[in-house]
A and B are shown apart, each in its own frame.
Chain A
């Protein structure tokens, strides 16, 4: 069964050097930040794939590459067999574009404050010259707002309502795939669950496929079918949700679960995660996680582990079994 989205050996390097003149005067080398390094995974139709990881792990960058906002440095993303970055035929690119939408993290920054909600929601259709008659009103009701809200401006809504508007906009072009970049992390908990439930309902109703980017393990457990764990731009572990939550193989995943707050262990003493995520400009040699890893051996410092299958899990660790 071939996946709807196929990500192959995806790498993205950002040039974060100082301006040319400063480099010449201060004799600095070019600084290259590898945000995403050789990541491969596939997302099945009508499933939810979650990417989790700390800040700076490259999860948002992967999302942006998939929707075509950021071009990949190497590797490719195929959506329905079409690679947005290299596809020469404009019509096929446009067709894929229409099928992929995104919901952003900050509902306050993702709506143009000078536009009416009606125009914001209809934009994906109106930008292509499509018929938008009654579209915004219908979508607003679908996401649990009222049709009268179409004439208002974004500042008249709360964070949760704004995120509903963002969802409505994402649905406007009848997409098959929605990339959700931390859609609930700017919302408070009670509103989070409403928005998440709405997203689950919409998925069942419309047969959507989600790429769900988050750092919140509880949210991911609620939403995801399959989970990929990112560390410093590399995929360190990937497993079906239940497998991952029952039996995390990678020491980094184990550390994340340890650090996550748990209701049943309230007040327990836990070891806080050791160390910070390393500098992506000068990543450590070998396994990127070895400076923080409690079980690292010599081999980890020299050889970068490949993803290998252990049961239902794919894990990049020399020691996992």
Chain B
């Protein structure tokens, strides 16, 4: 009921309306779910750390001039035997500060994750709306493609797309394009669940009388989909987007770990873990441990936040 007394500002923007409509309930649920609060705190902290990396990080790991090979393999918290420099989380084989690489790596991980989910969301919502509202052959084709894609593991689809994309990019641009190719690969491998959920929700909304009222007025199918149905199917989309974000970050890390993702010159968390695992058995555990811990904290807290959001937005589960 909180939105009742709000002043009415004229432009119609569905997302902000949803936010307003749900604000009170969500806020209440948020305050009464410690897990949600802790996860939100961790996510905020990590995202801020990533955004502010240039300010926080003691070193710039992308600037070879600041690196000193003599600093290689410095254990966390200890002074280096040759240079006397000390690093919070130690250094890797090339003397890069692990803490700084994590901060910069997280930027790439989060950027890829957000962009991939955005891409998947746009594709999935558009196709889901079309399939649900238009029905017939449109629906059959879209949903069969979705079914077929679901029979392959997402990571396999992503690797396939990544491989094709890499094949058609000229070699000199490969490193620059790698991030965008990653986003494309993960985004294209992840649209199916958005499409399915949106289609299902659209089928429900389509049969409701307010949609018939809009048809009767003479609104076009396109305008009905955007103005009437879309705002009413966004709740589940929001939940899936949150959980997908965690999955996309993990997918990016997996691809990078397998060596087909972010290049070592622009390492993401996954690349860092891959570099780290080479040294795990020789005793330099910190090179693997800290990036992995960061990834775990990031993915877990986003996931928990998504779970909470799903419960909070779906009163039937309570």
Residues in A125-155 with C-beta less than 8 Å from chain B: 127-128, 151-153
Report chain B residues within 8 Å CB of A101: 216
Select one of A97, A104, A123, A124 contacting B212, CB under 8 A.
A104
Known: A114-B17, A114-B18, A153-B3. A104 touches B219 (CB 8 A): no
Residue contact B218 to A102, C-beta cutoff 8 Å: no
Select one of B12, B209, B231 contacting A104, CB under 8 A.
B209
The number of chain B residues with a CB under 8 A from chain A is 24
Known: A111-B210, A112-B232, A114-B14. A123 touches B216 (CB 8 A): no
Nearest to A125 among chain B residues (CB) is B217
Which interface residue of B1, B209, B214, B223 has the most chain A CB atoms within 10 A? B209
Q: Determine if A269 is an interface residue (Cβ-Cβ < 8 Å).
A: no
Residue contact B21 to A68, C-beta cutoff 8 Å: no
Q: Determine if B213 is an interface residue (Cβ-Cβ < 8 Å).
A: yes
Known: A112-B228, A113-B232, A153-B21. A123 touches B209 (CB 8 A): no
Nearest to A102 among chain B residues (CB) is B216
Write the A200-231 contact mask toward B (1 if CB under 8 angstroms, else 0).
00000000000000000000000000000000
Expressed in whole angstroms, the Cα–Cα distance for A44 and B150 within the complex equals 58
Report chain A residues within 8 Å CB of B214: 112, 123, 127
Write the B218-234 contact mask toward A (1 if CB under 8 angstroms, else 0).
11000100001001100
Report chain A residues within 8 Å CB of B210: 109-112
Residue contact B209 to A105, C-beta cutoff 8 Å: yes
Residue contact A94 to B216, C-beta cutoff 8 Å: no
Residue contact B217 to A123, C-beta cutoff 8 Å: yes
Residues in A57-82 with C-beta less than 8 Å from chain B: 64, 67-69
Report chain B residues within 8 Å CB of A290: none
Known: A67-B216, A97-B218, A102-B216. A116 touches B8 (CB 8 A): yes
Residue contact A106 to B219, C-beta cutoff 8 Å: no
Write the B26-47 contact mask toward A (1 if CB under 8 angstroms, else 0).
0000000000000000000000
Expressed in whole angstroms, the Cα–Cα distance for A121 and B223 within the complex equals 17
Beyond A102-B212, A110-B213, A116-B8, list 17 extra A-B contacts (CB 8 Å). A69-B212, A94-B218, A97-B216, A97-B217, A104-B212, A104-B213, A106-B209, A110-B212, A113-B232, A114-B17, A114-B18, A114-B231, A123-B214, A127-B218, A152-B4, A153-B3, A173-B217
Interface residues of B (CB under 8 A from A): 1, 3-4, 8, 12, 14, 17-18, 21, 208-210, 212-219, 223, 228, 231-232
